[in-house]
Each structure stands twice: as C-alpha cells, then as structure tokens.
Chain A
Amino acid sequence: MSAEVVEAKRVPSTGAAAAKDIRTAFSSKWASIFIIAFTVIWTIPTVGLLVTSLRPAKDVADSGWWTVIEHPHFTFSNYNTVLFGKGSTTAIFPYVINSIAITIPATLITLAIATMAAYGLAWVKFKGSDTVFFIIFALQVVPLQMSLIPLLRFYNLGVHIGSVPIFPALHLGGKYYPVWVSHTMFGLPLAVFLLHNFISQLPEDMMEAARVDGANHFRIFRQIVLPLSTPAIAAFAIFQFLWVWNDLLVALTFAGGTPKVLPLTGRLEQLVGQYGANWQLLTAGAFIALIIPLIVFFSLQRYFVRGLLAGSVKG
C-alpha cells in the first residue's frame, strides 16, 4: 500500500496517480481501521437479528445474542413457528404470499405502462410531448401522502357530483387491485423519467431504418426498443420491486383493513406490538421479510447501482 503512495508521488503525470495523491491525504492505517470499524458497526445489528432468530426462546429471554460465542445453540423452530404458527392468527406465511402477490404485478404493470409512455414521449413526437414529459417528471414533487385520502375514497365510494354518481364505487376491499394500481400510479413519475432518459438516447438511424421498412410504432416498440432497453428496464424493475416489497404506507392504506391482502411489512409492524418480548419470533419474521430483497440486491447489485446513478446523478 505504501509503495503505491510513493509511486504516486513520483509519477504525477497520469490521472490515476493524481487521484491517488488525493487519497493519500486520507491514507493511513487509521483510515483503514476506521473503515473496518465502520463496516463492522454497520453490519452488527443485522447479524444480531439473524443470530437471535436462530436461538431457542429460553436462551433469547435469558441472555444477549452475543453470548452464542460461548454457548452456541441454534434451532430453526422459530421459523417454523412464525411461518406456520399455532393457530392462523400468528402465522405469517399467508402474508409472505400477499407480499409476492402484490409485488410482482405492481412491478410488471408499472414497467409496461412506463416503458410505453417513455417510448411514446421520446419517439412518437406530438405537439406538447416534451411538456407532458416534464409534467410527469415534475409530479415527483407530489408526495404520495397528498393522494392517500382522496384515492382511498375514490376506490371505496366512487365519484359523485352532488348525489349523481359519475363513477361507481368499486368495492375492492379484500382485493389486490387497489394496491397494484396505487403502486403503479406512485411509481410512474420516476419510472417514466428513468426509462425516457434511456430510450430517447437509442440510435435514431435504427428507428428510421425500421420505419422505412414499413414497421409501425407498435412493431418498433416490440422488436427494437424493448430488446435494446433491457438494461434500463432491469435497473428500474429492481428499484420498483424493492420499493413495493418494502413499502408500508401504501399497504396499510389500501390493504390495511384485511389480512387477505396485507403484505409482510404490515404484518410485522403489527407483530412488534403483539409479540412484545418474543424477540426470537419477531427477528425470524423480520429475517424472512429481509431475505428476498437481500437476494435480489446481492445478485443484481450492478443493475441496482446503475439505476440509482441514472436516477440521481445524471439526467
């Protein structure tokens, strides 16, 4: 490490070496120690969760999770209890299913509608298409809290002017539809923006060539735009997937009334009160909720980071 530093000082002409020189300002054993300590501190709470979820109830009640170093004693029974439970009131397995049933359509539908809109705004130029794009993007200023009350009423009561019904009440209690549709609505501004950034940069001559060959927009979209946009679509898919899977507010508002629809996050939030001191069950439940996004995250990290950078650094 120190040889590198010396070299950087001797050879100042290359950019890489220059960058190293900046880092030398922070380079010392202390910096390394700081980073290692920081990483350990950042990771330990999650380790504590995992360890606790694997300990027998009695151990959890009697001692801290760090004592497993002296008395390693593990069991999977907490997972069995928390997933399938004694009596359906505690089992979280149905809520895992609800989370899956909410997340997959909410991701796919958002992607489909956003990709179409992004293509339409970028390549089917019409009067005001740029304005429409900018308004959609600007809608990100509207926090979804602004929509919750009226949207819930719209689903439950329909639309009336005076007492004349314009749009009927949908009676969607206990159904997934309102959750899917709401997630799509709230996800669209960011989705259209990110995908538009990508799709509008696709090579013009390729589109032109397809048009000359007589392909209409629908064919161009399916046969050229979709295959070429896969990286951008994948990046946003991960984003939306994690967002929906991890969401609590939309779930509580539009699915809160019924265990038929409530996802895992909503159930866990209830269990914090219900299980009280039964940390081995609560941690097992939380770990089940974490494991799917963590798998997605670690296996597709590159796409995720790319999406993140596209979203917040560069237009």
Chain B
Amino acid sequence: MSASHALLTASTFSDSVGKLSQVVVAVVVFFAALLLIFFLAGRATGRFQRPLTVAIFVGPAIVLLLIGLVIPSFRTFYLSLHGAPALHAPYVGFKNYGFAFTDPATQSVLLNTLLWIIVAPIVATGLGLLIAIVVDRMKNQSLVKSLIFMPMAISFVGASIIWKYVYDFKESSQPQDGLLSQVVIFLGWKHPPNWLLTHPLNNFLLMVILIWIEVGFAMVVLSAAIKAVPDEVIEAARVDGAHGFGLFSKIQIPMIRATLVVVLTTIMIATLKIFDIVQTTTGGNFGTNVLANAMYQNAFVTDNTGRGAALALILFLGVLPLVGYNVLQLKKERANR
C-alpha cells in the first residue's frame, strides 16, 4: 500500500468520524429538546394545559405535513400552469398538459406507464397468489418464503444492478456473462439480441425487476389472508359438496377478494411511481421511459419546471383513484369493527 493511499484512507476515516458525530449530536439534541419540552409542558396548568398538550403532540406532524406535502402540492399545480424558467415564469394555462399528451416522446412515456400498471401488478399478484397457495404444502416453507420474499429488502437500485447483469450482452462469438443470453443460447437461440436495447421487449424485461421484488409482498399478504378465512365457511361449503379446485375458486377467492384488490392496487401505486429501475438500467432511453422518470428529468435535469410539475400532477391523478379505493376499503373495515 502506498503512502498516499494510506493518507487518503486516514482522511476518509477522520471525515467519516466527523460526519457520524454530527449525526449523533443532531439525534441527541433532538431527543433532549423533546424531553425538555415534555418536562416544561408537563408543569403547565390551567386553561392552556390542554391546547398546549395537543400542540406538542400533534403540532410537529401537522406542520411538517403542511410544509412537506400539502402546500407543495398546491404549489406544484400552480407551477404546472407556468412556463419553463424557474423564477418569474409566464402563465401558460394548460399548455404543459397539452404538451404531455401531444409530444410523441411523452406520449410513449404515458403508453409505457400504462403498460407497466397493467402488466406488472397483475403478474406479481397472480404469481404471489399461486405461490401463497402452493407453498403451504412445502416442508421447508419458511425457507422458501424467506427466499422469495428477500427481494423486498433490496433497493430498486440494487435489484436493477442484479438484473442488468442478468441481461448483459456480449457478441455471441464471445463467452457470455449475461445469464439470460447464456440460457437462450443453451436452448438453441444462437444470436440473442442486446436485450435492454430491444424495444418493446426491454420494457417487459424492466417489469420483471419490479415483479421480482413485489411477488414476495403479494405472497406474504395473501397467504395471511387465506389463513384468516374462517373454518366454518369452508366447512359449510364442504357440506354443500364443494371440494378441490371448486372450493378454492368459488369460496376461497371470493373470501379474500378484498385483500386481493388491496394487494393489486398497492402494487399498482408502486408501479406508477417507478423511477429507480428505469433510471438505473436504461436512464429512460431506448423507449423505456416512464412517467416518474420523465417527471424527474423535466424538473431537475432539463429544468423545465412547468412540464415536470404537469407530469407530477398526471401521476397524482393516476394514483388518486387507487389510493382512494384503499382508503374507502379501510373505512369500511373500521365501520364493520
């Protein structure tokens, strides 16, 4: 190891210690301040006691949500009606929205996004359901479940690198290092294409990454729902002569229908917001761009704030009915309780 390398490592090390102590100080100060406020507010008596208590418990969350989500959302809508330069942008009406729906590049973005939210959630939920049912028969089911569920813990960036390597392309005359190419060559396809550059196939290959991550989620949630179906219901159905697949499709599936839809909508929401996968694998090139990535590019790369804001709003309008459904579902469940 050279002297300069050692020096570099030493400076990196002291830099890291500095950063981490900054973090420790911040956390300690935060909790100390909280304790102090608790202590002081605990002494308050009389008319102000109750409002003060409410303000301390709920106030921080409300202020943060106002600054972080509520006001910015209105502001984004406002920006979406304005032009490109960040400051003193002219009012342009709904031009940015018009652009989004007429510009060929953005049209393909919207089309891709539509494809994503149809294919990825259905495949992921379907596979998750299939596995949830079948896996209960396995002896080592906890191991199997853990392995299928594991991608949930991996970042989209990490997952994208894992799969980018699977899709890696080399001339077919050379030894392959991408698993997919190797497999199809083994199966007899002598000259596989450069996967991630092949449109529209590349869109589906990117969806595989999301499906890989979400199947575990669907499996765990659906498996819990299946186990929660009351025995009496199944008993009654059996007495009526239902068994095997009929019992499954006519009794089990309807009983877990609500959960199925929630899983589907939850994955749809994640799909609509998908950004990391596209950004890491193709950067949105080769016809793979999607809404959330296009929004980021417009807002922060090409600095076309108005268009970025308009795309954010389109994204919001897409997510709205899905989350709305989940909220209503929850309200219903609460009412039934």
Q: A113-B61, A146-B73 are in contact. Are A268 and B162 (CB under 8 A)?
A: no
Nearest-neighbour CB distance to chain B for A278, whole angstroms, equals 12
Are B295 and A145 interface neighbours, CB within 8 A?
yes
Tell me the count of chain B residues lying within 8 A, CB to CB, of chain A.
Answer: 130
The stretch from B4-12, B92-100, B107-115, B187-195 touching chain A is B4-12
Contacts of A313 in B (CB 8 A): 221, 224-225, 259, 262
Contacts of B61 in A (CB 8 A): 113-114, 116-117, 136, 188, 192
Per DSSP, are chain A's interface residues mostly helix, strand or loop, or mixed?
Answer: helix
Are A293 and B156 interface neighbours, CB within 8 A?
no
Are A139 and B162 interface neighbours, CB within 8 A?
no
Contacts of A186 in B (CB 8 A): 68-69
Asked if A283 lies at the interface with its beta carbon under 8 angstroms from chain B, I say yes
Are B182 and A32 interface neighbours, CB within 8 A?
no
Q: How many A-B residue pairs have CB under 8 A?
A: 375
Q: A32-B138, A142-B69 are in contact. Are A150 and B64 (CB under 8 A)?
A: no
Are B68 and A15 interface neighbours, CB within 8 A?
no
What 1/0 flags go to B111-140 for Cβ under 8 Å of A?
Answer: 000000000000000000001011111100
Are B68 and A34 interface neighbours, CB within 8 A?
no
Please name the residue on chain A nearest to B277 by beta carbon.
A248
Complex Cα gap A21–B70 (Å) = 51
Interface size class, chain A? 35 or more
User: What is B's interface to A at a CB cutoff of 8 Å?
Assistant: 5, 8-9, 12, 15-16, 19-20, 22-23, 26-27, 30-31, 34, 38-39, 41-42, 49-50, 53-54, 56-58, 60-62, 64-65, 67-73, 75-76, 79, 86, 131, 133-138, 144, 146-158, 160-166, 168, 175-179, 182, 212, 215, 217, 220-221, 224-225, 227, 230-232, 234-235, 238, 243-245, 247-248, 252, 259, 262-263, 266, 272-273, 275-276, 279-281, 283, 292, 295-296, 299-300, 305, 308-309, 312-313, 315-316, 319-320, 323-324, 327, 330, 333-334, 337
**Mind listing 21 A-B residue pairs with CB under 8 Å?**
A18-B235, A32-B137, A42-B150, A43-B150, A45-B163, A45-B165, A88-B8, A97-B15, A112-B31, A117-B58, A145-B295, A147-B68, A150-B79, A186-B69, A189-B69, A218-B56, A249-B292, A265-B276, A272-B280, A279-B177, A315-B337
